[in-house]
Structure 1
Amino acid sequence: MNSRKELFVTSFALFSLFFGAGNLLLPPLLGYNSGEDWVWVTIGFMITAVAIPIIGIFAHAKLQGTMYDFGKKVSPIFSLVYCVIVYIISVAIPSPRTASATHEIAIHPAFGTSPLTTSLIYFILVLVFVLNRSKILNIIGKFLTPMIVIMLLLVIGIGLYSSSFTNIGTFETPIVSGILEGYQTFDAIGAVVVGGVIIISINFKNTASFEIKKQLIRRSGLIAGLGLFIIYAGLISVGAYYGTEINIDNSLSNDMQRANLLSGISLSALGAFGNTVLCILISLACFTTAVGIIAGTADYFKGLFHNSQNAYIITAVIACAFGVGVGQLDFSTIIHIALPVLMFIYPITIILILLNVMPDRLASKTVFRGVVLITFIFSIPDFLGFIIPRENIQGIVDTIPLAQYTLGWVIPAFVTFIGLNFSKLFLKANH
């Protein structure tokens, strides 16, 4: 494969592994609720749904290892525990969520099948792709992603052309709302998971030097990031511009509102053909993400058990079986379970991504340990806020900057990073 073709196949595959159920359903309703503030909401959403994940791919390009390498500077035990937690979360929440979204929006309305039937067929197909590991990059990059992108651009382009802006925003802090909604895409966690999938897939057929692979991964990340930016901004803006043209019934859950809005936009933009396009689009977007998650999880446990192919197969089978089970839950229930988990693991993931992409002189073992520890401590109120009544921790929240926005870890982590680096410089100057 020539270098340019390999770059675009890898970029498309990376885009598709990122772009799943949440990525398609979250932005339109975010735009719908943001109205005239949709640009500010988009900026916030891009921070957690594009910038951080692509920086994560840059970190993978620098390390060219596995997710284990992201946390090993803290300690081997921490890294092991972190990896296991992230992979369990990935298999337990975002992977089944793709099956649930596919069933609720694409399969059940068209065929009336049960969640069990949908999940069973869905994860059998996922397993077939995952077991054909060496072909994942080519199949997704050459065939599935172009179909997804073409259909998305059709919906966005025709939607923007045929609608007029009339909506008033409802967010008090649009940028923060965008940041927190970006959490629910799982893209930062996706970066550390699917980045490993990309690296292993490249290594299957590429014997180039470390630096050439580094350039390929970084450029692929930039192209995939640009694609995500265009699609997200398009979906958010379409949601905002269709504000009063589509009735989404505010009595429904957010998740059904998301589905109804996206369906309404597709029907308005593409007519009766819109439903078919939407079903195919959701099915493909969800499917490629599930493949990436389960392949990444199987890759990790294969490495954990001394490169055992049996460990890879067993992990893939268990992950797919788990997906069938959890896939029986509706999309709303899975999102509800996910939120407190995200508030616990997302800040640590973001910090690990940022530290790993920095020059080694600024991210020593001491810096890693200090910043990760502080991030963990100050993200506890954010986590607790979703599992106990908010008033029980209001006193703590009021004393931590940005904690009222569930971002209480940001300033303490930054101050710790600066303080530890200045301390190192001070100690070096006095020796």
Structure 2
Amino acid sequence: MRDLQDLNPNPLSKKDYFIVSSMLFGLFFGAGNLIFPIHLGQLAGSHWVLATVGFLVTAVLLPLLSVLAVSVTRSEGVYDIGKPLGPVFALAFMVLIHATIGPLFGTPRTATVPFTVGIQPMIPASWAHVGLLLFSAVFFGLAFLISFRESNIMTSVGKVLNPVFLLLLFSVFLLAFLNPMGHAAGQATTAAYKHASFFNGFLQGYNTMDALAGLAFGVTVVTAVRQLGKTKPSSNAKVTAKAGLFATSAIGFIYVVLIWIGATTLSTYRPSVDGGVAFNQLVTYYLGGFGHALLATLITVTCLTTAVGLVAAFAQDFHKHFSKVSYRTWLGFMCCASFVTANFGLDQIILWSTPMLMFLYPFAMVLILLSVFSPLFHRDPVVYGFVVGFTTVPALLDMVSAFPPVVSQSAFGQALTAFQHSVLPFANLGMDWVVPAAAGAVLGLGLHFLKPVFGRARQTTSEHD
């Protein structure tokens, strides 16, 4: 079937590309993108360069590949990425991704991070619970209003909120460059980063959730590019891929600076409990009391842009597959559910999100790679089946090992962890899914390319008979 023709046959202008790239940047860059890199810098110390390389693989390269996966397969969301494995798997994968980056973990975090590190230090401790309740209510109320009309998403995120965030962020960078706290290369390194800094940085990149978000934002990005007149699937894919490259490159630059700054803070502060505390220390050091107000504004703006993208992507995808419920009803449900979860607090959200990320990320990585290279094997379900099937057991074992002590340190949890480390290579690095996935790829691709040989052999046999 021939592609539809573009409503706008002319090449997009630099301004159009900037708007789409800015929207993608704003959708990706949220709560975790600020707090986890700076914390990584504090943990890695003098080994910050190698840890940065590992972090960039999962926090920049993988999200870029997720955007390319949407482009290459001409998908419009998470469901289409998993479709070669059948509608049941595709729907289950979509629900799990949206639940993780949506109302269970990712979206509530966009409200709890700005409150915890920006607002809470400025109010009495006794007001913390009420303050979070009021802040999260206003926050998700704004996210709902901005996302209420789908056509407003690109305008609100790409043209308004995102430039404000960048202006505030680079003012902090300038101060850090002009008067660094110390030399990153001379700082102490925590034990975990002395011998496995790359792999620990790689795993820290999971916390950004951007690879999962890239798959979920597919429908939002495709819709926005269509509004620019690129309705032909191939044209839409090219614009999406090019804008994704610009956006993720900018994010990568910011990560490098944040990790470096995190390492320099060790001259003045001890490694913090989390990146939120580290960022708070950084801004307070340079700006004093005014820094708290700047921090609150900066993180609230960037987290609101991400929240808008997450709630819109959730509502668009669920309306598409459960069409009896309207987009705006799904949007309201998402905002209300995220508001409820946010009030459990940032610590609990991070604690329980880690196991789900350890389970989902291996699946996301193999599906992204399969999608990017799918033209080579025509999206053959056999290849997908072997790779995903062989990834399942390691992903489940990683999830159990990452649960809080009540599960991971139980007799059942310890037995599974012992089995995992004795049987699967690289389990101590959190990379035990790599060898099984590679084995599945070899078997699946082998069967795919041998099909014609078997077909010709059967044909020859039948002709002789």
TM-score normalized with structure 1 length: 0.93
- Contact kept? 2:117, 2:296, Cα under 8 Å: yes
Give 2:269's aligned residue.
Answer: 246
Quick check: 73-82 or 391-400, which moved more? 391-400
Give 1:331's aligned residue.
Answer: 346
- Contact kept? 2:20, 2:224, Cα under 8 Å: no
Residue 354 in structure 1 maps to residue 361 in structure 2: no
Give 2:459's aligned residue.
Answer: none
Residue identity opposite 1:280 in structure 2: T
Instruction: Name stretches of at least 5 consecutive residues in structure 2 with no aligned partner.
Output: 1-7, 457-465
Residue 116 of structure 1: CA displacement?
1.0
Within a 5 Å distance, the mapping from 1:108-123 to structure 2 comes to: 108-110=120-122, 114-123=131-140
Residue among 298, 323, 337 paired with 1:281: 298
Residue identity opposite 1:424 in structure 2: H
Residue among 309, 312, 329 paired with 1:292: 309
Deviations 1:126-167 (A, max 9, x none): 100110210111221112112222222222232133123131
Give 2:91's aligned residue.
Answer: 80
Deviations 1:204-240 (A, max 9, x none): 3424432322221111100111011001111001111
Instruction: Give the Cα–Cα distance (whole angstroms) in 2 for the partners of residues 208 and 343 of structure 1.
Output: 36
Give 2:460's aligned residue.
Answer: none
Instruction: Name stretches of at least 5 consecutive residues in structure 1 with no aligned partner.
Output: none
- Contact kept? 1:159, 1:268, Cα under 8 Å: no
Residue 230 in structure 1 maps to residue 253 in structure 2: yes
Residue 24 in structure 1 maps to residue 34 in structure 2: yes
- CA 1:317/1:208 → structure 2, altered by over 3 Å: closer, same or farther? closer
- CA 1:27/1:124 → structure 2, altered by over 3 Å: closer, same or farther? same
- Contact kept? 2:38, 2:278, Cα under 8 Å: yes
**Local SS of the residue matching 2:226:** helix
Residue 262 of structure 1: CA displacement?
0.8
Residue 314 in structure 1 maps to residue 314 in structure 2: no
Residue among 176, 196, 203 paired with 1:180: 203
Residue 272 of structure 1: CA displacement?
4.5
Residue 376 in structure 1 maps to residue 392 in structure 2: yes
Instruction: Give the Cα–Cα distance (whole angstroms) in 1 for the partners of residues 231 and 99 of structure 2.
Output: 33
Residue identity opposite 2:13 in structure 1: S
Give 1:219's aligned residue.
Answer: 242
- Contact kept? 2:220, 2:309, Cα under 8 Å: yes
Give 2:61's aligned residue.
Answer: 51
Within a 5 Å distance, the mapping from 1:400-419 to structure 2 comes to: 400-419=424-443
* Identity score, percent: 27
Instruction: Give the Cα–Cα distance (whole angstroms) in 1 for the partners of residues 338 and 390 of structure 2.
Output: 34
Residue 66 in structure 1 maps to residue 90 in structure 2: no
Give 2:142's aligned residue.
Answer: 125
**Local SS of the residue matching 1:303:** helix
Deviations 1:37-68 (A, max 9, x none): 10110011111111111100011122142221
**Local SS of the residue matching 1:133:** coil
**Local SS of the residue matching 2:269:** coil
Instruction: Give the Cα–Cα distance (whole angstroms) in 2 for the partners of residues 121 and 191 of structure 1.
Output: 26
Residue 100 in structure 1 maps to residue 112 in structure 2: yes
Residue identity opposite 2:42 in structure 1: Y
**Local SS of the residue matching 2:84:** coil
- CA 1:64/1:420 → structure 2, altered by over 3 Å: closer, same or farther? closer
Quick check: 384-393 or 402-411, which moved more? 384-393
Instruction: Give the Cα–Cα distance (whole angstroms) in 2 for the partners of residues 157 and 421 of structure 1.
Output: 50
Residue identity opposite 1:423 in structure 2: L
- Contact kept? 2:44, 2:263, Cα under 8 Å: yes
Residue 365 of structure 1: CA displacement?
1.0
**Local SS of the residue matching 2:85:** coil
Residue identity opposite 1:86 in structure 2: I
Residue among 448, 451, 455 paired with 1:424: 448
Quick check: 417-426 or 52-61, which moved more? 417-426
Quick check: 403-412 or 226-235, which moved more? 403-412
Instruction: Give the Cα–Cα distance (whole angstroms) in 2 for the partners of residues 361 and 215 of structure 1.
Output: 18
Instruction: Give the Cα–Cα distance (whole angstroms) in 1 for the partners of residues 16 and 75 of structure 2.
Output: 17
**Local SS of the residue matching 1:169:** coil
